[in-house]
Amino acid sequence: MKLFSGNSNRVLAESIGRYLELPIGQAMVRRFADQEIFVEIQENVRGEDVFVIQSTSYPANDHLMELLIIIDALRRASARRITAVLPYFGYARQDRKAGGRTPISAKLVANLITEAGANRVMTLDLHAGQIQGFFDIPTDNLFAVPLLARDIKEHRDLSNLMVVSPDVGGVVRARALAKRLDAPLAIVDKRRDRPGESEVMNIIGDVTDRNCILIDDIIDSGGTLCNAADALMKAGASSVSAYITHGVLSGGAASRIAASSLKELVVTDSIMATKAIRDTPNIRIVTTANLLGEAIQRTASEESVSSLFD
Whole-number Cα distances in Å, 289 to 103, 177, 190, 242:
33, 20, 34, 21
Q: Is 94 annotated as a binding residue?
A: yes
CB-CB contact of 288 with 268 (8 Å): yes
Q: Is 180 annotated as a binding residue?
A: no
Beta-carbon count within 10 A of 112 CB: 16
Q: Is 93 annotated as a binding residue?
A: yes
- Name residue 104's amino acid: I
Q: Which of 190, 234, 263, 275 is catalytic?
A: 190
| CA-based nearest residue to 178, from 208, 205, 203, 202 | 205
Q: Is 299 annotated as a binding residue?
A: no
Kindly state the DSSP code that residue 24 receives in the 8-state scheme: B
Residues 6+ apart with CB under 8 A from 296: 1, 3, 16, 20, 51, 83, 85, 122
Q: Is 192 annotated as a binding residue?
A: yes
| CA-based nearest residue to 75, from 159, 4, 168, 167 | 4
Q: Is 153 a known active-site residue?
A: no
Q: Is 72 annotated as a binding residue?
A: no
Q: Is 223 annotated as a binding residue?
A: yes
Q: Is 221 annotated as a binding residue?
A: yes
3-class state of residue 225 by DSSP: helix
Q: Is 169 annotated as a binding residue?
A: no
3-class state of residue 260 by DSSP: coil
Q: Is 95 annotated as a binding residue?
A: no
Q: Is 10 annotated as a binding residue?
A: no
Please enumerate, by residue number, every residue annotated as part of a binding site for Mg(2+).
Answer: 127, 167
Catalytic residues: 190
Output the known binding site for ATP: 34-36, 93-94
Q: Which residues are annotated as a binding site?
A: 34-36, 93-94, 127, 167, 192, 216, 220-224
Q: Which residues are annotated as a binding site for D-ribose 5-phosphate?
A: 192, 216, 220-224
